[in-house]
C-alpha cells in the first residue's frame, strides 16, 4: 500500500512538472518575437547612417558631428549582432541587414584596390605640430618620403629655420607664409596669402579670444613638365566639442568658405589643395569644396586613411584634394614627432 501511494505521488509530481514545462515553453517568445528592442536599435542605426544628411545642424552642429565620425557608427553592428545572438533573436539579426547594407554602400568602395603605382607627381602634406619635440627628425623623414611637392602646416618661428635647413638639399624651392609653407623639387612662383580667418559675415561672430592669425593659407604655382599646377596649402581653424556650444566649427567653416571662393575663382584648371582641414570630407560643411574637387584618398586610396590623433587615428583631418588632375594613389606616411600623420598622393595628367 505504501509503495503504491508513493508511486502515485511520484506520478502526480511528474505530471505537474510536465505541465509546468509545457507552460514555460508556451510562454517563451518565438525567435522572431525575441529581441525587439535590439531590432529597433539596429533599424535606427541603419536609418541614422542612411539619412545622415537630413540630421539638422542646429542646435550644436549635430549633423556635422555625426558625419565627422560616420564610419565609426559601423561598430554598432557587431555589438548589436552579439546581443542578437545572445538573445537568439531572428528579428534583430534580420534588422541588422539595414545598417550593414548602408555602411557597405557608403564606405565599402574605399576598401577596393583603386591605386595605381605610376604617377607623374607625388604630393604630400603634414601638420608638423607646434609642439613637435624633433623637427629635424620630422624633416628628414619627410625628405625621404619621395614627395616632389611637400606642404607643411603649423610652422612656428622657432622651428621654421630647422625645416628650411633640413629640407634644402631635397627641395631647392620653397615658400613660407605665416604658419604654412610649400617645399618643391620644381620651381615655384606667384605665391599669395589666402586669409581663411576673416572671410565673410561669419567671421564677425567669432569671439576675439577665439580668433587666430590670418596667415594660415597660401596659393602658389608649381612649374611642371605638363604646365602650371596651382597648389593651395591651408591649415583651417580648430573645432571643439563642449556641452554649451556642442560641435563648435565656426572658425573652420570660415576657412572652408574662403577656400571654396578662391578655388571657384581659380583660372587654372589644374589645382591641388593640401593641408590640415580639421574635418572630414563626409562633413556637409565642406560641400563648397567637395563640389569642385575630389579627395585623393576617397578616389584612389585604400581604406579611410585616418590621420589624427597620430597615436590612435580616428578621423582624416589632413587632406589632399584635386581638380583637373587624376589621383592615382593615396596613402598615409609613418608617424613623426607630430600629433598628426603625414599624407601623400600620386597624381597624373
Domain boundaries, the chain: 29-111, 121-348
Q: What are the backbone dihedrals phi and psi of residue 255, each rounded to the nearest 5 degrees, phi first?
A: -65, -35
Find out whether 317 and 339 touch, Cβ atoms under 8 Å. no
339, three cell numbers = 600629433
d(CA 347, CA 278): 23
Provide the 8-state DSSP code for 258.
H
d(CA 275, CA 73): 26
Q: Percentages helix, strand, coil for the chain, rounded to the nearest 5?
A: 40, 25, 35
Kindly tell me if the per-residue pLDDT of 204 is higher than 60.
no
pLDDT single digits (tens) 148-196:
999 999 999 999 999 999 999 999 999 999 999 999 999 999 999 999 9
The band of 102, judged by pLDDT with boundaries at 50, 70 and 90, is very high
Kindly tell me if the per-residue pLDDT of 327 is higher than 60.
yes
Q: Which CATH number fits domain 121-348: 3.10.105.10, 3.20.20.70, 3.60.10.10, 1.10.3210.10?
A: 3.60.10.10
What is the percentage of the chain residues whose pLDDT exceeds 70? Answer: 87
Q: Which of 7-21, 224-238, 320-334 has the lowest mean pLDDT?
A: 7-21
d(CA 18, CA 187): 90
Kindly tell me if the per-residue pLDDT of 84 is higher than 50.
yes
Kindly tell me if the per-residue pLDDT of 79 is higher than 80.
yes
For the chain, give the mean pLDDT: 91
The band of 23, judged by pLDDT with boundaries at 50, 70 and 90, is very low
Which residues, 6 or more positions from 65, have their beta carbon under 8 angstroms from its beta carbon?
Answer: 241, 246, 247
Say what the pLDDT of residue 25 is: 43
**Comparing C-alpha atoms, which of 79, 83, 77 is closest to residue 100?**
77
Say what the pLDDT of residue 29 is: 65
Say what the pLDDT of residue 13 is: 63
Say what the pLDDT of residue 158 is: 97
Find out whether 49 and 97 touch, Cβ atoms under 8 Å. no
Kindly tell me if the per-residue pLDDT of 1 is higher than 60.
no
What is the number of other CB atoms lying within 10 angstroms of the CB of residue 278? 25
pLDDT single digits (tens) 235-263:
999 999 988 779 999 999 999 999 999 99
- Residue 346 Cα distances to 34, 64, 116, 200, 320, angstroms: 52, 29, 9, 34, 10
Which residues share a beta bridge with 150? 124, 183
276, three cell numbers = 590640415
| pTM metric for this prediction | 0.87
The band of 100, judged by pLDDT with boundaries at 50, 70 and 90, is very high
Kindly tell me if the per-residue pLDDT of 209 is higher than 60.
no
Find out whether 336 and 126 touch, Cβ atoms under 8 Å. yes
DSSP of 77-125: HHHHHHHHHHHT-HHHHHHTHHHHHHHHHHHGGGGS----S--SEEEEE
Kindly tell me if the per-residue pLDDT of 18 is higher than 90.
no
The band of 22, judged by pLDDT with boundaries at 50, 70 and 90, is very low
Kindly tell me if the per-residue pLDDT of 53 is higher than 60.
yes
Amino acid at each position: 500500500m505504501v509503495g503504491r501511494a508513493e508511486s502515485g505521488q511520484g506520478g502526480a509530481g511528474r505530471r505537474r512538472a510536465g505541465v509546468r514545462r509545457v507552460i514555460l515553453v508556451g510562454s517563451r517568445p518565438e525567435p522572431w518575437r525575441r529581441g525587439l528592442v535590439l531590432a529597433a536599435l539596429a533599424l535606427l542605426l541603419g536609418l541614422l547612417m542612411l539619412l545622415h544628411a537630413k540630421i539638422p545642424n542646429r542646435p550644436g552642429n549635430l549633423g556635422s558631428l555625426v558625419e565627422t565620425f560616420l564610419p565609426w557608427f559601423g561598430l554598432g553592428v557587431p555589438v548589436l549582432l552579439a546581443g542578437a545572438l545572445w538573445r537568439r533573436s531572428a528579428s534583430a539579426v534580420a534588422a541588422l541587414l539595414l545598417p550593414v547594407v548602408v555602411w557597405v554602400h557608403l564606405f565599402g568602395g574605399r576598401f577596393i584596390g583603386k591605386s595605381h603605382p605610376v604617377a607623374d607627381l607625388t604630393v604630400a602634406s603634414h601638420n608638423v605640430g607646434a609642439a613637435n619635440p624633433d623637427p629635424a627628425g620630422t624633416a628628414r623623414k619627410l625628405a625621404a618620403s619621395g614627395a616632389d611637392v611637400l606642404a607643411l602646416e603649423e610652422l612656428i618661428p622657432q622651428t621654421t629655420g630647422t625645416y628650411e635647413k633640413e629640407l634644402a638639399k631635397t627641395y631647392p624651392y620653397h615658400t613660407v607664409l605665416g604658419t604654412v609653407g610649400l617645399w618643391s623639387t620644381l620651381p615655384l612662383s606667384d605665391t599669395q596669402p589666402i586669409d581663411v580667418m576673416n572671410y565673410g559675415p561669419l567671421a564677425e561672430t567669432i569671439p576675439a579670444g577665439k580668433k587666430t592669425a590670418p596667415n594660415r593659407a597660401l596659393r602658389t604655382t608649381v612649374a611642371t613638365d605638363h604646365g602650371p599646377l596651382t597648389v593651395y596649402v591651408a591649415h583651417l581653424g580648430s573645432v571643439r566639442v563642449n556641452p554649451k556650444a556642442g560641435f563648435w566649427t565656426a572658425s573652420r567653416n570660415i576657412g572652408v568658405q574662403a577656400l571654396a571662393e578662391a578655388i571657384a575663382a581659380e583660372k587654372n584648371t589644374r589645382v591641388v589643395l593640401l593641408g590640415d582641414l580639421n574635418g572630414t570630407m563626409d562633413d556637409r560643411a565642406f560641400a563648397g569644396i567637395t563640389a569642385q574637387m575630389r579627395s585623393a584618398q576617397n578616389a584612389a586610396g585604400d581604406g579611410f586613411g585616418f590621420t589624427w590623433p597620430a597615436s590612435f587615428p580616428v578621423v582624416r583631418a589632413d587632406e589632399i584634394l584635386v581638380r583637373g588632375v587624376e589621383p592615382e594613389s593615396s596613402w598615409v606616411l609613418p608617424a613623426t614627432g607630430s600629433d598628426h600623420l603625414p599624407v601623400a598622393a600620386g597624381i597624373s595628367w
